[in-house]
Structure 1
Amino acid sequence: MLLIVGLGNPGGKYADNRHNVGFMAADAIARRHNFGPFSKKFQGEVAEGRLGGDKALILKPQTYMNESGRAVGEAMRFYKLTPADLLVLYDELDLVPGKVRVKTGGGAGGHNGIRSIDAHCGKDYRRVRIGIGHPGDKSRVTGHVLGDFAKADGEWLEPLLDAIANAMPMLAEGKDSDFMNKVSLTMQGKVPAQKEKPASAKPAASKSGGAAPTKKPAAKGKSHIHQARQNGPSIAPPTTGPMAEMLKKLLGKG
């Protein structure tokens, strides 16, 4: 059996917080795959259903984020599950909005819900990291995480939750890469544009609108003096005086 855990904080006050995107994803999965109604169990809300032909359980801990491991651990002990049977969905600051990544094990990355689950259940479970973006300043992280999604975020958030729910059977079958590829393809064109790096300098345009002409390399076998004579303005040789006499001798002209 697969235990799918969505992380968040209970109560209407937190319902639209970025920190509650795990709850949102869990609800989307339950709707998409016709899970039964949520009921109170294991210090959380639980819904039963099937994914990929196998039984699955969705759990939304109601212990508040920092104590999520208590609810998850209780459910795992009841069903005698191992970390390999556990899948956790949660918000990730280090991913841009609309991006999703799956990994097994690793550190908590400063996420208190994950830290709690690690302590109660071990670390070798799969984590579905849902990008919410970083505010850019460490001092603003708490307000960003516990702040509500903006109305404009709905343009990518709703399609993302649907994409996660639709592709969930792939995760149930252990096809993590296929899951990420499907979500990514679905989200193309819906993810917020990111700031691009400055483009490299381009050649200045000529007056005619094209690129400015570049100097041609020196031709092989010709000196710079020869090229200067060839490319520079034509200067008539002197016909009288000492220089004229010398040129006549050098060039063999009488």
Structure 2
Amino acid sequence: MHVVVGLGNPGKQYDQTRHNLGFRVCGELRERLPGGTSRERFSSRVTETGGPGGKVLLIEPQTYMNLSGRAVAEAIGFYKVPLPDVLVVCDDFNLALGRLRLRRDGSHGGHNGLRNVIECLGDDEFARLRMGIGPLEGRDPVGFCLGTFRQEELDEVDRMIRTAADAVLCWLDAGLDAAMNRFNTTGTARETQ
């Protein structure tokens, strides 16, 4: 079993914000993967589906971004999923819009949702897929992350969501190294297709 965690904030008012890219990637994966059934569990929207390599759980914590870790730890503990089989998808204002960065482990990089996941798991040895929403350009980080994309950014955002879902499917099918080799580029989502 593999677990894909999409970080975001619950509620319609947050649907299209920069901070909700993790949820949007889970939505894209729900459309692509067969037989998904969703339910509320572990303070999350949990979708059980199949994918390359077997059963896949898509987890979208409904606890708000900064408290995501408790829900993630509860689900991973219940299913006894080893951390190398977990991938967390989140936004990153330190990456240019459209850039993707997959990593095997590491720090939270200032992302409060990722910070809370690391704290609640007591470990940072899980993969993460960061999706570029930057540059921040001196703007207030909270307002920027909770803001919506500009009209001229929407095509790039849609491309990035599709490419991020491709990266997750590659991780499920061929492993993290293959996904990193294919999707960790210096270009944007447009340039990796």
Is TM-score (shorter-chain normalized) higher than 0.5?
yes
Change (3 A) 1:51 1:179: farther
Partner of 1:109: 109
Partner of 2:129: 128
Partner of 1:188: 191
Among the aligned pairs, what percent are the same residue? 35
Query: In structure 1, the residue corresponding to 2:16 is in which secondary structure?
Result: coil
Partner of 2:46: 46
- TM-aligned CA deviation for residue 154 of structure 1: 1.5
Contact kept? 2:167, 2:179, Cα under 8 Å: no
TM-score normalized with structure 1 length: 0.69
- Cα RMSD, aligned residues only: 2.1
- TM-aligned CA deviation for residue 164 of structure 1: 2.1
Alignment of 1:10-21 (within 5 A): 10-21=10-21
Partner of 2:37: 37
Contact kept? 1:32, 1:166, Cα under 8 Å: no
Alignment of 1:159-238 (within 5 A): 159-172=159-172, 173-174=174-175, 175-180=178-183, 187-188=190-191
Partner of 2:75: 75
CA distance in 2, matches of 1:18, 1:35: 28
Contact kept? 1:29, 1:164, Cα under 8 Å: no
- TM-aligned CA deviation for residue 176 of structure 1: 2.4
- TM-aligned CA deviation for residue 35 of structure 1: 4.6
Contact kept? 1:97, 1:133, Cα under 8 Å: yes
Name which one, 1 or 2, has greater alpha-carbon Rg: 1
CA distance in 2, matches of 1:167, 1:99: 12
Gaps of 5+ in 1: 191-254
Aligned residues: 189
- TM-aligned CA deviation for residue 69 of structure 1: 0.5
Could you say which structure has the greater relative contact order, defined with CA pairs below 8 angstroms and 6 or more residues apart? 2
Contact kept? 1:171, 1:179, Cα under 8 Å: no
Change (3 A) 1:39 1:94: same
Could you list the structure 1 runs, at least 4 aligned residues long, displaced by more than 3 angstroms after superposition.
Answer: none
CA distance in 1, matches of 2:109, 2:69: 16
Partner of 1:241: none
- TM-aligned CA deviation for residue 45 of structure 1: 0.1
Query: In structure 2, the residue corresponding to 1:119 is in which secondary structure?
Result: helix
Change (3 A) 1:119 1:185: closer
Letter in 1 for 2:165: A
Partner of 1:147: 147
**Larger strand share, 1 or 2:** 2
Change (3 A) 1:73 1:154: same
